[in-house]
Amino acid sequence: MSFRLLSISTMYDGYLNSFYDRHPDISHLSYEDHLKILMEETTEFAGSYLRNFRKAGIEADCVVCNDMGLQKKWCIEKGLKTGNSLEILLDQIKSYLPEVLWVENLSFVTSDFLNNVRQEVPSVRLIAANHGSPFNSKVLESMKGVDFVITCTPGLKSTIEEMGKKSFLVYHGFDTEQLKWLDEKYAVPENDFIFSGSLITGGDFHAQRIHLIEKLVSENIPIDLYVNLESKFRIRAKQSIYYLSELINKIGLAKSLGKISLLQYGKTLVNSYSDNLLRNIKPPVFGPNMLNLFNKSKIVLNFHIGIAGDWAGNMRMFEVTGVGSCLLTDNKRNMPDLFDIGREVVVYDNENDCVEKVKWLLEHDGERKQIARSGQQRTLNFHTVEKRCESIIEIMSSELRH
């Protein structure tokens, strides 16, 4: 079954900044040519899935809602006034006339907006969402406006269903077309052991991840950190919110906590980064540079965010194995469903186990290389974006028939 799909996407601000640093003269291009280059160079969800939907015969398009320069360019070419981001988005949906609207970032829309789309754009028969990150009041409110949610772990699927919303499990995957980026022209260093990603404090984000990395550093494990950190101001603000939350609890207003989304950061005390951790920090990398960094690193550390609970499923697992590096990841209940543990990837059960596994891998280079090769073979055979898109198309086709 074929249908017209419009993906409502956003991109990480760090990636957009790096993209425009590489393309300072892109402003002269048309909207379509500009968007094409952006989609071709990103490792983010939007570009990979758009390409593979089209490869499967779906008439698919994508808008990047948080790239306001690109969005305003679309308005100018269409002769429309440049309103706020949701006004522009509604005009785009009216222009594309999709049958399926796929919302990749629920924080960007509202349930009222989605209900308005159903009324003003009769072509839209189905609104689906993709969600695999912590829940907040904004996400929960927006989720009311979608027909179902696709998510990336069994645990999140169960949580969403407990909220009364239909959900389907589709794991992330690796885009095999990105193997062409593994090229010597990308100037990234070779490393023994790295972590690449974000270290965001508070809530259900990266507190345990930060604690693990602090442990590795304290044990003198040589780890290079290509990370995005929070500013001292944001950390101090979260610390203030924690003490405010404690005060609210003491004076008997605890029920108010659930109604104020900002106070999610007040559940636990947020610590500053240690000096030892900060000495290992390098600038974050994005896009092709990130995949080349993985490819040229012997071991890549992975640690799921708090909301994942006992279940694995983040994109990093498939990116690392896809480019042929050795994945060292936190052990989860469903890891045996994804990889052959010990033969295709290495898992750790706790901080001390992680320290020991790193030491073992660095001391056994032949075994490490074999694990990396086997992990790559598993991902390229079973965990590709192409296969994930086939599953998503089957789900959407079935829902449309109903």
Q: What is the pLDDT of residues 278-325, one digit of tens each?
A: 888 899 988 888 999 999 999 999 999 878 889 999 999 999 999 999
What pLDDT is stored for residue 140 in this prediction?
93
Tens digit of each residue's pLDDT (9 = 90 or more) over 8-20: 999 988 889 989 9
Backbone torsions φ then ψ of 273, nearest 5 degrees: -70, 145
Q: Cβ distance 325 to 295 under 8 Å?
A: yes
Classified by CATH at the fold level, domain 177-231+273-382 comes out as Rossmann fold (3.40.50)
Q: What one-character DSSP code corresponds to residue 341?
A: B
Q: How far is residue 48's CA from residue 52's CA, in Å, rounded to a whole number?
A: 6
Residue type, 393: I
Q: How far apart are CA 136 and CA 259, in angstroms?
A: 10
Distance of alpha carbon 56 from alpha carbon 393, whole angstroms: 9
* Distance of alpha carbon 78 from alpha carbon 385, whole angstroms: 33
C-alpha to C-alpha distance for 382 and 372, rounded to whole angstroms: 15
pTM, two decimals, is: 0.87
In this prediction, residue 43 carries a pLDDT of 85
Q: How many CB atoms lie within 10 A of CB 294?
A: 24
Is 196 within 8 Å of 282 (Cβ atoms)? no
Q: What is the pLDDT of residues 45-90, one digit of tens each?
A: 889 999 999 999 999 999 999 999 999 999 999 999 888 999 999 9
pLDDT tens, residue by residue, 240-268? 665 566 666 666 555 554 555 555 555 56
Phi/psi at 356 (5° precision) = -65, -40
The two structure tokens encoding residue 346: 């290495």
Asked whether the beta carbons of 353 and 212 are under 8 A apart, the reply is no
- Listed in order, the ranges of the chain carrying CATH 3.40.50.2000 are 4-173+384-401, 177-231+273-382
What CA–CA distance (Å, rounded) separates 193 from 190? Answer: 9
Look at domain 4-173+384-401 and name its CATH class: alpha beta
Contact 185, 157 (CB under 8 A): no
